Amino acid sequence: MQCKRSILFLCSIIAVQLVVVAQPVKRSLRASDILRLQSTGDAQISPDGKWMLYTLTTVDSAKDKRNTDIWMMNWEGTESVQLTNSPDGETNPKWSPDGKYISFMAARNGGSTQVYILNRLGGEAIKLTDTKGSLSDYAWSPDGKRLLLAIKDQEDTTGKKKNNPMVIDRYHFKQDVSGYLYDKRKTHLYLFDVAAKRTDTLTRGNYNEGSMQWSPDGASIAFVSNRTEDPDKNNNNDIFVIAAKPGAEAKQLTNWKGSDGSPQWSPDGKTIAYLRSTSDENFLMYDQPILSVIPAAGGEPVLLSKSIDRPVTNIRWNKDGSSIAALVTDDCERYIAAFDPKNGKMNKLIGGNRSFNALELHPNGSWITSMTNPQLPSEYYAFENNNLRRLTKVQDDFVKDLSLATVEKFVSKSKDGATVSSLLYLPPNAGKEKLPVIFFIHGGPVGQDDYGFDLTRQTLAAKGYAVVAVNYRGSNGRGIDYSKSIYADWGNKEVLDIQGAADHLISKGIIDADKMGIAGWSYGGILTDYMIAKDDRFKAAVSGAGSALQLSLYGVDQYILQLDNELGPPWKDKNYEKYLKLSYPFLNAGKIKTPTLFMTGEKDFNVPAIGSEQMYQALRSNGIQTELIIYPGQFHGITLPSFQADRLERYQQWFDKFLKPKGF
């Protein structure tokens, strides 16, 4: 009897051990995990509603590059098929209207970007177009007989030498990624006959066109263009309609001095929904789009979403034209809503502690959307009968072995009484002890941190830090007045908001007041410079792609319209006093005691490297511990995978020098 009991006891122990062994051990997120992260995009439903196209972008670590391929998934979400596998990459997939072909854009074998088609039953892709200019977009006509192409004029190299000087005479002459803007070629619309392989010119003139949309009957095309005398000096865009035949004259549909864009035809072709800017100023940094409708034949617009005072994007008509679905940016979230096209009444369809980022109509009247939450990167879902049903599962392999931070919202009060919403990332297995903290500040300034997955903050939290995302004044999601409250007054209210969030968390006993760090990229880097010059509580900082001597940037960065309209030319009306006030971090660099790492892209024309260089030099001159990291060949956004991983590692290493959590 005793022997049997011993055997049973031994079996029980073995069974428990087997269960323990079978359970996967979660690990912390590492900087190198960015090389495993895949991303989905461009979802398109087949005309019969049975299949979905989407792109999948992966990292090739050996070649240090990303590649995008096209995949197809059935509507049930049970079967997926990779359609392309080219090292050149494919983008912008679309179904032919009869559903027999899949088209996409690609630049293969060293050639220029063209439209290719692939029989959905299989086989090799066939090059459909052979454009001589630069193809940027295309769209099928409803009957499938023609393509609408957006093509930048072909460069005339007749008599030109290989190494000519850049002759610049434009007002706005610099732009990140594009570089110096001396190219006078324009983007126009063309009609391509699929059977005859013939291309006809649809639009001409000294201006650009884009955002083109076929009318449901294929007779007309809506597009967007800035046809003012000098487009460089304003942000004006208007919607035009033109008959889909060569030689037709375009009719201007909107005449708002601000920006009109993203036209969408109603199913009956009688109305066009679009997005209109709130302001008609020449500079629209602090603006937010308003859902509007206008008769396709012309008339007065109706502003549907103005009363909600929130940015609206990704507008799509429903199947019968009785409502317009859209994404609405609200306080720390982005939700799906439907608007009545007659009176603008809004019905919130689905929201919560997550962020929706795309919206496409299914033939049966339901929707495809992409959604992300704090612990899951973006995936595609069917939104039907007011419920979400997951389709893609590309992120499962990425997250399955990871122990990720939890994210919660909190509201703090600033010194001047303003209430500010923020997100707090708590590291996995965080105890009750006070945590070292990194305030990681978003850029923009007109953007916001929401409940979407954030790899940078998750990576910092994985090292044992509490990480805070502050939606300071200037952020969107809280209304136009909240965004515009920092107009011509940078580094003031935002500083109060970050300090208020810090004071709140200190009072709650969550963070260690003696172990605070701050970081950010772009405007987040600019605010980092302001913070370390105004508050010596931060023991370490990382300023990415920032600037501090704003007076030195007039004509150096791409924001000439902002500087002219928000601050004015420095030599007029004592405007230089505004620039000097906003140059506080550099002019008060002697007050800075915080060890700071500066990082920038070598070719950044958005916030040029000079901004980081000046602050680095100032701190070096004052004997403050600092380093300067310049990523060669990179623009404002660091895109090379190895550099992205390097940046994450440098964040961690720098903060660990001064704030390292216990046990890490």
Q: Please determine, for residue 19, whether its predicted confidence score (pLDDT) is greater than 50.
A: no
pLDDT exceeds 90 at position 9: no
* Mean pLDDT of the 12-23 span: 48
Which residues, in sequence order, are CB contacts of 398 under 8 Å at separation 6+? 33, 36, 37, 38, 377
Amino acid at 523: Y
Asked if pLDDT for residue 574 goes beyond 70, the answer is: yes
Average pLDDT of the residues in 635-640: 96
User: Rounded to an integer, what distance in angstroms lies between the CA atom of residue 170 and that of residue 637?
Assistant: 25
Q: What is the mean pLDDT of residues 270-295?
A: 95
**Is the separation of the CB atoms in 466 and 427 below 8 Å?**
yes
Number of residues that make up the chain: 664
Whole-number pLDDT of residue 162: 73
Q: How far apart are CA 606 and CA 558, in angstroms?
A: 6
Q: Residue 440: which pLDDT band, with cuts at 50, 70 and 90? A: very high
Is the preceding peptide bond at 445 cis, omega within 30 degrees of 0? yes
Is 63 buried (19+), middle (13-18) or exposed (0-12) by CB count in 10 A?
Answer: exposed
How distant is the alpha carbon of residue 361 from its chain centre? 22
20-61 pLDDT tens trace: 445 568 899 999 999 999 999 999 999 999 999 999 999 999
Place 159 in a pLDDT band, splitting at 50, 70 and 90.
low
Joined tokens for residue 348: 């919130």
59-69 pLDDT per residue, tens:
999 999 999 99
pLDDT of 156 reads 66
Report the pLDDT value the prediction gives residue 110, as an integer from 0 to 100: 86
Q: Are 465 and 428 in contact (CB under 8 A)?
A: no
Using 50, 70 and 90 to split pLDDT, how confident is the model at 283? confident
Residue 651, both tokens: 């964040």
E strands, 399-530, in order? 402-403, 406-413, 419-426, 435-441, 466-470, 511-521
Helix axes 523-534, 610-621, angle to 10 degrees: 20
Percent of the chain beyond pLDDT 70? 95
Cα 19 to Cα 139: distance, rounded to the nearest angstrom: 55
Give the span between the Cα atoms of 103 and 512, in whole angstroms.
55
Kindly write down the DSSP assignment for every residue of 481-509, as one continuous string: HHHHTTTT-TTTHHHHHHHHHHHHHHHTT
Mean predicted confidence (pLDDT) in 404-430: 96
pLDDT higher than 90, residue 429: no
**How high is the pLDDT of residue 241?**
98
Evaluate whether 522 touches 607 at the Cβ level (below 8 Å). Answer: yes
pLDDT at res. 432: 83
Task: Output the furthest CA–CA distance in the chain (Å, rounded).
Answer: 103
In which band, very low, low, confident or very high, does the pLDDT at 486 lie, cut at 50, 70 and 90? very high
Mean pLDDT for 375-382 is 97
Residue 161's pLDDT is 67
Instruction: Name the average pLDDT for the chain.
Output: 93
What pLDDT, on the 0 to 100 scale, is given for residue 421? 98
| pTM, rounded to two decimals | 0.93
DSSP assigned state of 475: B
> Given this model, what pLDDT does residue 183 score?
84
Q: What is the pLDDT of residues 315-343, one digit of tens each?
A: 999 999 999 999 999 999 999 999 999 99
Question: What DSSP character marks residue 146?
Answer: E
Q: Which domains does the chain have, with CATH numbers?
A: 403-659 (3.40.50.1820)
pLDDT for position 158: 63
Ramachandran angles phi, psi of 585, nearest 5°: -60, -45
Kindly tell me the sign of the dihedral angle through the C-alpha atoms of 640, 646, 652, 657.
Answer: negative
pLDDT of residue 3: 43
Query: Residue 120 — φ and ψ, nearest 5°?
Result: -65, -15
The answer to whether residue 16 scores a pLDDT higher than 70 is no
Strand order in the sheet with 134-140: 134-140, 146-152, 187-193, 198-201
